[in-house]
Amino acid sequence: MRLRALLVLLATVAFAASPLLVPGFGGYEPDQFPVPLDNPPVQPAGYAFSIWGIIYLWLLVSAAYGLWKRAESPQWDAPRFPLLLSLGVGAIWLPVAVLSPLWATALIWVMLVGALGALLRSPAADRYLLRGAIGLYAGWLTAASAVSVGLITAGWGVPPFGPEGWAIAALTLGLAIAAWILSRVPSPAYGAAIVWALIAVTVQNGATTTGLFAAAAAALVTGLTLYRLRAARV
């Protein structure tokens, strides 16, 4: 168990340091797609990506505490393997994203599967130090993975939709995953990350079909998160 706790801490440090490998990365460039994408509707407003600072810090605190105080805890050990998988892939994601949106999309879904697996295995005890950190990370990855699908399908001109149609389809996919996870794990951090992303999509699009859909989805995730928290307390 202690070795896994150490590996999680090392993987978290590598993951948090990965932006140093690609300084100034601000997302895919339009010319990385066969159909160039300028201001794609599925992408959140730029300010939303500041959430990564909180995610990195929270994961680092969680991993350090897990090694220091919970290295031999079976409850803390349960999510370590899928979390280690997600963080390990995440440490190389940015260099891959610069080279290939397709491979980056494949990798972010691997990261998501690992993060969701870790969240589903996380204990209710120490919820702010473990489940909270994993939840915020998994929530943002849920949104980011859905956005990647919307970018890839629109950027490759996949029928039958255009950029806005694929944006709504991708957001629907993310919403379905969020609803399924929240029905099993009452994590306010997970819900908050998704709401943060959806509000940023609304800000990006305004009173368009995509913007209004994202706003409605944000309200739905907020309601579901609050309902699950209340049900868990009861």
pLDDT score at 203: 97
Give the pLDDT mean for 83-97: 96
Q: Tally Cβ neighbours within 10 Å of residue 142.
A: 26
Task: Indicate the length of the chain as a whole number.
Answer: 234
The model's confidence at residue 210, banded by pLDDT at 50, 70 and 90, is: very high
What are the pLDDT digits (tens) for 104-159? 999 999 999 999 999 999 998 888 999 999 999 999 999 999 999 999 999 999 99
Burial class for 10, CB neighbours closer than 10 Å (0-12, 13-18, 19+) = middle
Over residues 152-179, mean pLDDT: 95
| Whether 173 contacts 149, CB under 8 Å | yes
Q: How far, in Å, CA of 117 to CA of 80, rounded?
A: 10
Q: Do residues 174 and 220 lie in contact, with contact meaning Cβ atoms separated by under 8 Å?
A: no
For residues 199-208, average pLDDT: 96
Going through 70-152 in order, the beta strands assigned E by DSSP cover none
pLDDT band at 233 (very low <50, low <70, confident <90, very high): confident
C-beta of residue 13 within 8 angstroms of C-beta of residue 130: no
Mean pLDDT of the chain: 95
- pLDDT digits over 50-81, tens only? 999 999 999 999 999 999 999 999 999 999 99
Question: In Å, how far are 13, 63, 68 from 4, measured between CA atoms?
Answer: 14, 10, 12
Give the confidence band of 1 by pLDDT, cuts at 50, 70, 90: confident
Percent of the chain with pLDDT strictly greater than 90: 86
Is omega for the bond preceding 159 within 30 degrees of 0, making it cis?
no
pLDDT at 40: 93
Secondary structure (DSSP) of 11-75? HHHHHHHGGGGSTT--S--GGGSSS--SS-TTSPPGGGGGHHHHHHHHHHHHHHHHHHH-TT-HH
- What distance in Å separates the CA atoms of residue 109 and residue 148, rounded to the nearest whole number? 9
Higher pLDDT, 36 or 120: 120
Residue 234 has a pLDDT of: 54
Q: What's the rounded Cα separation, in Å, for the pair 26 and 168?
A: 23
Q: How deeply is 211 buried, as exposed, middle or buried, from its count of CB atoms within 10 A (0-12, 13-18, 19+)?
A: middle
Report the amino acid identity of residue 115.
A
Residue 30: pLDDT band by 50, 70, 90 thresholds? confident
Give the model's pLDDT for residue 10. Answer: 98
